Structures are given as C-alpha cells and as structure tokens.
C-alpha cells in the first residue's frame, strides 16, 4: 500500500496596526523555535504562508529569519503560498483590488525568496464562487478552503482527500480541502491520535490529508507554549511522524506535488462559505443563540454526521450588517479605492488603502479584532493617509450619496484637511470625523452591543481534555458571565441628540438603563446645504417642524466644527434636559455655550477573545446637559493644528 501524502502547513500572520511587542513575542516564542525544531528533525517539505504585515516587519527586524526561509524554499523544502498581501478577505474587495493585493504578494515572494508561488492561502477561508476566475487570472493554480465548503454542497467527507477543480467564467482553479479533524487534533491532542487518524485514512484508500492552519497555535495561543514545548507535544509529534515516514505509511508532500500526483476528485462548485465557527460568529445575536440551541438539541453524533454540515450560520459579509463600524470602514475603503483609480492610482494612497483592507478589524468572534481599538485606529489611519494624498489642494465640498450602502443618503463633507460623514436619516449625527494631519477618526468608537455569548445559559461547560490541551474553541464554549454588560440604545457617533428626564442619574445613563423623553438621534432630518467659499453649513430640521427644533452643523475648510441647536423652549419638554452625546476616540478641544453640566464616562466593552473575556475602553462619552428652557446651545470642536 502506498503511503498517504500528508500536507503539513502553517499560516503566520500579524495584523496591520498590531503592537511591536506582539510581533517580537511571536517571533521569539513561535516563529523561530517552530522552524528550528522542524529543521533539526528534517521535517520537510512543508507549506508556509506568511502575511504581508508580518513579512514587512520581519524584513525590517528579523531579516535573517527570512533568509533562512528563502534557502529552504529554493531547495524545495518549503512551499510558499501567495495571498492578498495585507491579508484582506478577498471576496470583500473590489475585483481590481483583489488582483493588486495578490500581485503585491506574489512579487514580494519572488523578490524575497526567489521562488514563484502557485497556490493561494485564502484569508479566513472566505470563499465566494466568482473568486475562481479572479484567482486564475492572477496566476493562481490552486487555493485552500475548508472541508466544510465541500460538505455543505453534499459531497461526502470520504471524497475530500484529493484535489478538486472548479471554474468561473471559463477560468479553472484547483481547490484543496483542509481537514477539520486534523485542525482539532494538531496540536491539541497527543500525537498518537494524529497517527491513528492518518493510518485510518490510508487503510480506507485515501491518498491525501491536508492541514494548513494558524501557526500561532504552536506556542502563541493561551496554554499552547507549555503544551507544545514544555510538555513535549512537538517532540512527540515529530517522533511519531518520523516513525510513520520510516515505515512508509506517511509521506510529507507539498500541495504542488499533490496536485500533480493525486487523481482529481472531479468538478465542484462551492457555495459562499467560511469555516464553521466563522459562520456562527457572523450571525446576529438572536440567531446565533438559536443556532447554539439547535446544535445542542441535535447532539454531537448528529452534528458529526453528514447532516451536521447542513446546519449553518451566515456568511462573512454579514459582519458589515451586524456592525455598522465595520461597514463604515469597508465602504470608506471602497470609495477611496475607486477615487484612487480615477486619479491615476498614486502609489502612496494605493498602498495605504491596501493596508486598510487588512481583515482583522472588520469582524469579531473568538478571533477578529473589531473590538480592539488599536486595530480599528490603524484602518482609519491608513484611510486618512490615502484620502489626504487624494484630496491634496481640494476646496471644501459636500457630496450627497449613500456611502454605507444601506439605501439611505448620507452627506460626505471633505476638503484637503479633513473628511466627515453626516447622516441626516439618523438624527444628523456625525459618524466619521477624520482630521488628516493627525490621521485620526475621532468618531471611531465601538458601540456596546449585546453579543450572543453574553446571554447563553451556563450549560454544557467545556472541560479540559484528559489527554491533551483545550483548543480555542473548547475555551470559547466554557466562557460564561455572571451578569450582563451594558448595551447601548443607539450606535455610537458624535452628536447623538436626546432629551433626558431631569432626574436621571449619571449611573443609569452610563449603564444605558433609561428611557429618553425624546430620541432625536433616531429621527430623519430634512437637511439643506449652505455653502460659502471656506465654510459649509448643514441646516437640519424635523420634517414636521415640531418644536421649532433646528440643528446646524458648520465645517470650516480647515476642519473646525460647530454644532448649534435652537428650539422653542415652551414646547420642547419644559421639564427635560437637552443632552447631545458626543462619543470620541481621542481627546478633543470642545467649547460649550452656554456653559453646561457635562457628564463623562469611559465607553467600555466586554468581549470574548482567545484569552477569555476582555474589558476594553473603546472611547469616551461626553454629554453636555442644558435645561430645555434655555432654547439654544452650541458646541465648538477645534482640531489641533499642525
């Protein structure tokens, strides 16, 4: 019997905007020791993907490490995969951007390692059918997806140990299925379990087993350094695989060799899909809870059967619906990408847009960095760099357009100094306020939301495996809260206007445990634009003219902002307090008239990560409070000048 071909691969990645000490830690604890151990034992060939942000950092700080990879690659011992350079979800990009990102990575691989990549690491394994044509056009011969992509199409698991072929618009692409069973065995179970599984596949006549997964789980994830190195898992794994190789039961293989040597499984058309956990994370909270309860009702045996693949969550793009902050970054990047191409695609702007397409800050699950302010800041910083170059020398202007794609018009106000987004349909709130020279979007504050894991009952606690170490997903299932964190009544933005009861306490307001007398921030305003040579004013009124309420938003060409209010004090909740909430990511110079009482508190979220529950300050809430009897109020915002 021929040995089974085992493709063993790792994906190394750090996102745009991550801290230097995180890069350094992973280099010291994961990337360097892992490669050293494999080289010591001649555990080759292997498959490697390294994301662009990590490649750039290593080239600047640890170039010898890259030199070593280059020598291994030139000797055919390491097969290097291409991808989108800045680790974008390719399906979420404009098609020209997809091609450009892949071209950047393929050229970097040729330049740095001296080899031509043939295969593609698909970020977060997010697949959409049209990708086949775009990848083929980019020179990609094959791509990696999850076995789930096949299983939800009704293809039996037994048929997945071979390359398959798909096409789009007449362009062909081979696809390999990453084995979920191997993802959970390596490195979380003793090496003997992997050996048993590979032997069982071989006994069934399977010719191929593929594992390409996050390299950070070999020492970077919680508990894995102790398990993989200190408690000897990696040594045991290498010993076990060496014995299998010596017995001619297993042969290490690259994907290129597997494509040439293993007969095709046939033609397949894969649906829009990602890995199983991601599809659950992308669901709205109520639907995510229902999915968990459904899976509990079906039980492990049914879920492990072919029926289990038909129980699915949503797709990755649903994060743009679930989180307005994610959607706003995504649509702003799309708009600037189109503007960049229309203006000759200048390289500085294009690279900044590419960095802003890095996937991590756009989604949330156990992984995903939407809840990490420094990763969102990095997206907005790169968007600011791009827009600053693209708008150099431009005068102040206002565009009416549906920038966020929800069918409702926004106002995009911009000059050579700043960019802002105002939503008349959502109370004329300011949803973006980016000052270019500071490279900061001051409105980049995450809303406190109810997540499904906040409310799941404390049933079916995961327990640590007796013979291994818990995976990230085992840890995820065991996390429970003793009490619910606050959830905001409105999405965070600048100048979300309300009338509050005069007797409301700050504690209840900060905890979102109150009922406003009027939620003007949810009202659709009729807006007129009054433009002057160096200023523009948005005059926002209620359609009914009720209360004589008027909100005026004035921008100067330099980016200074004034928001003025006027109302009829006799008709406008005479016993209430007018209170526009200003959520800001960084400190701003604010002036108020008349002088109000200002409530302030940090906006803190409680989210789930690979470490457990994280409490994170997302920004600060400032709420000036005026008795409604004053009839008028004003807030002046002055950005720091260069």
Residue 470 burial (CB count, 10 A): 20
C-alpha span between 640 and 637 (Å, rounded) = 10
Q: Answer yes or no: pTM beyond 0.75.
A: yes
| Distances, alpha carbon 579 to alpha carbons 420, 570, 622, in Å | 22, 17, 10
Q: Are 582 and 635 in contact (CB under 8 A)?
A: yes
Q: Which stretches within 343-437 are classed as H helix?
A: 347-356, 373-390
Active site residues: 124, 214
pLDDT of the residue at 366: 87
pLDDT of the residue at 642: 54
Examine the pLDDT at 91 and tell me if it is beyond 90: yes
pLDDT of the residue at 459: 41
Q: What is the pLDDT of residues 420-445, one digit of tens each?
A: 999 999 999 999 999 999 999 999 99
C-alpha span between 580 and 590 (Å, rounded) = 13
In the DSSP assignment, the letter for residue 640 is P
Examine the pLDDT at 482 and tell me if it is beyond 50: yes
pLDDT of the residue at 639: 75
Q: Which residues pair with 311 in a beta bridge?
A: none
Lowest-pLDDT range of 37-41, 476-480, 602-606: 476-480
Q: Are 309 and 151 in contact (CB under 8 A)?
A: yes
- The beta-strand segments (E) located in 436-534 are 440-441, 494-496, 499-501, 526-531
Mean pLDDT confidence for 414-420: 97
pLDDT of the residue at 473: 56
Q: 389 falls in which pLDDT band (50, 70, 90)? A: very high
Radius of gyration of the chain (CA): 27
Residue 246 burial (CB count, 10 A): 9
With left for phi above 0 and alpha for psi between -120 and 50, is residue 76 left, alpha or beta? left
Mean pLDDT confidence for 474-492: 79
Contacts of 42 (CB under 8 A, 6+ apart): none
Q: What is the pLDDT of residues 132-163, one digit of tens each?
A: 999 999 999 999 999 999 999 999 999 999 99
- The beta-strand segments (E) located in 45-111 are 46-50, 78-80
Interior/surface letters 194-220, b for 16+ CB within 10 angstroms, e for the rest: bbebbeebbeeebbbbbbbbbbbbbbb
Mean pLDDT confidence for 569-596: 96
Q: What is the pLDDT of residues 97-107, one digit of tens each?
A: 999 999 999 99
**Within a 13 Å sphere around the CA of 65, how many CA atoms are in the beta-carbon half?**
21
C-alpha span between 159 and 177 (Å, rounded) = 10
C-alpha span between 26 and 28 (Å, rounded) = 5
pLDDT of the residue at 620: 98
Q: Which residues pair with 32 in a beta bridge?
A: none
Going 309 to 87 to 256 to 219, the CA torsion angle's sign is: negative
Q: 612 falls in which pLDDT band (50, 70, 90)? A: confident
Q: Which stretches within 574-627 are classed as H helix?
A: none
- The beta-strand segments (E) located in 436-522 are 440-441, 494-496, 499-501
pLDDT of the residue at 462: 45
Lowest-pLDDT range of 79-93, 299-313, 337-351: 299-313
Q: 14 falls in which pLDDT band (50, 70, 90)? A: very high
In the DSSP assignment, the letter for residue 467 is T
Interior/surface letters 65-78, b for 16+ CB within 10 angstroms, e for the rest: beebbbebbeeebb
Q: 384 falls in which pLDDT band (50, 70, 90)? A: very high
pLDDT of the residue at 353: 98
Mean pLDDT confidence for 19-30: 97
Q: Are 112 and 63 in contact (CB under 8 A)?
A: no
Contacts of 48 (CB under 8 A, 6+ apart): 9, 10, 12, 69, 78, 79, 80, 81
Q: 461 falls in which pLDDT band (50, 70, 90)? A: very low
Mean pLDDT confidence for 179-194: 96
Q: What is the pLDDT of residues 208-241, one digit of tens each?
A: 999 999 999 999 998 899 999 999 999 999 999 9
Examine the pLDDT at 472 and tell me if it is beyond 60: no
pLDDT of the residue at 193: 97
Mean pLDDT confidence for 505-512: 98
Query: Which of 34, 25, 121, 35 has the alpha carbon at shortest distance from 73?
Result: 35
> What crossing angle do the helices spanning 63-74 and 52-61 adopt, rounded to 10°?
110
Contacts of 407 (CB under 8 A, 6+ apart): none
* Residues of the chain above pLDDT 90, percent: 90
What is the SS3 assignment for 587?
coil
pLDDT of the residue at 611: 77
Mean pLDDT confidence for 586-614: 93
Q: Which residues pair with 599 in a beta bridge?
A: 623
Going 289 to 276 to 463 to 297, the CA torsion angle's sign is: positive
């Amino acid at each position: 019997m021929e040995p089974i071909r085992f493709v063993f691969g790792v994906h190394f990645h750090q996102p745009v905007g991550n801290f230097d000490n995180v890069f350094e830690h992973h280099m010291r604890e994961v990337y360097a020791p892992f490669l050293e151990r494999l080289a010591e034992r001649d555990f080759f060939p292997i498959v490697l993907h390294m994301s662009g942000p990590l490649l750039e950092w290593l080239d600047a700080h640890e170039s010898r490490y890259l030199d070593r990879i280059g020598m291994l690659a030139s000797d055919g011992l390491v097969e290097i995969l291409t991808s989108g350079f800045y680790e974008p979800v390719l399906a979420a990009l404009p098609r020209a951007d997809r091609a450009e990102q892949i071209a950047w990575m393929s050229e970097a691989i040729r330049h740095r390692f001296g080899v031509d990549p043939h295969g593609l690491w698909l970020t977060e394994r997010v697949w959409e059918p049209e990708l086949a044509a775009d990848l083929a056009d980019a020179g990609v011969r094959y791509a990696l997806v999850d076995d789930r992509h096949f299983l939800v199409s009704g293809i039996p698991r037994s048929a997945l140990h071979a390359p398959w072929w798909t096409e789009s618009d007449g362009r062909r692409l081979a696809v390999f299925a990453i084995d979920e069973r191997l993802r959970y065995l390596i490195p979380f179970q003793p090496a003997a379990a992997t050996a048993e599984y590979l032997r069982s596949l071989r006994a069934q006549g399977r010719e191929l087993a593929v594992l390409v997964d996050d390299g950070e789980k070999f020492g970077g994830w919680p508990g894995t350094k102790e398990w993989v190195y200190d408690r000897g898992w990696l040594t045991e794994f290498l010993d076990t695989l060496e014995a299998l190789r010596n017995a001619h039961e297993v042969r290490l293989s690259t994907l290129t060799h597997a494509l040439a040597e293993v007969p095709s499984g046939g033609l397949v058309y894969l649906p829009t899909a990602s890995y199983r956990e991601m599809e659950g994370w992308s669901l709205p909270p109520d639907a995510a809870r229902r999915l968990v309860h459904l899976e509990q009702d079906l039980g492990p045996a049914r879920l492990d059967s072919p029926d289990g693949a038909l129980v699915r969550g949503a797709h990755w793009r649903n994060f743009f619906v679930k989180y307005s902050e994610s959607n706003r970054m995504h649509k702003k990047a799309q708009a600037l990408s189109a503007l960049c191409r229309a203006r000759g695609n200048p390289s500085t702007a294009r690279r900044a847009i590419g960095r802003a397409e890095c996937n991590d800050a756009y989604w949330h699950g156990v992984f995903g960095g939407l809840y990490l302010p420094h990763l969102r800041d990095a997206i907005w910083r790169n968007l600011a760099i791009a827009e600053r170059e693209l708008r150099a020398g431009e005068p102040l202007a206002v565009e009416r357009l549906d920038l966020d794609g929800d069918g409702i018009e926004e106002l995009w106000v911009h000059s050579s100094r700043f960019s802002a987004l105002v939503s008349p349909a959502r109370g004329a709130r300011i949803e973006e306020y980016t000052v270019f020279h500071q490279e900061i979007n001051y409105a980049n504050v995450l809303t406190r939301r109810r997540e499904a894991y906040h409310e799941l009952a404390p049933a079916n606690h995961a327990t640590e495996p007796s013979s291994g170490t818990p995976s990230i997903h085992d840890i995820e299932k065991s996390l429970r809260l003793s009490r619910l964190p606050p959830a905001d009544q409105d999405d965070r933005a600048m100048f979300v206007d309300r009338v509050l009861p005069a007797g409301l306490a700050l504690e209840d307001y900060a905890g979102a445990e109150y009922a406003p007398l009027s939620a003007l921030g949810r009202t659709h305003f009729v807006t007129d634009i009054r433009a002057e040579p160096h200023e523009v004013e948005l005059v926002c009124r209620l359609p009914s003219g009720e209360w004589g309420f008027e909100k005026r938003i004035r921008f100067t060409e330099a980016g200074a902002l004034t928001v003025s209010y006027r109302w009829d004090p006799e008709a406008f909740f005479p016993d209430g307090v007018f209170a526009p909430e200003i959520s800001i990511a960084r400190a701003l110079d604010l002036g108020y008239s008349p002088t109000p009482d200002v409530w302030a508190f940090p906006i803190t979220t409680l989210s789930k990560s690979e470490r457990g529950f994280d409490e994170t300050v997302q920004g600060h809430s400032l709420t000036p409070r005026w008795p409604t009897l004053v009839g008028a109020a004003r807030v002046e915002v002055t950005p720091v000048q260069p």
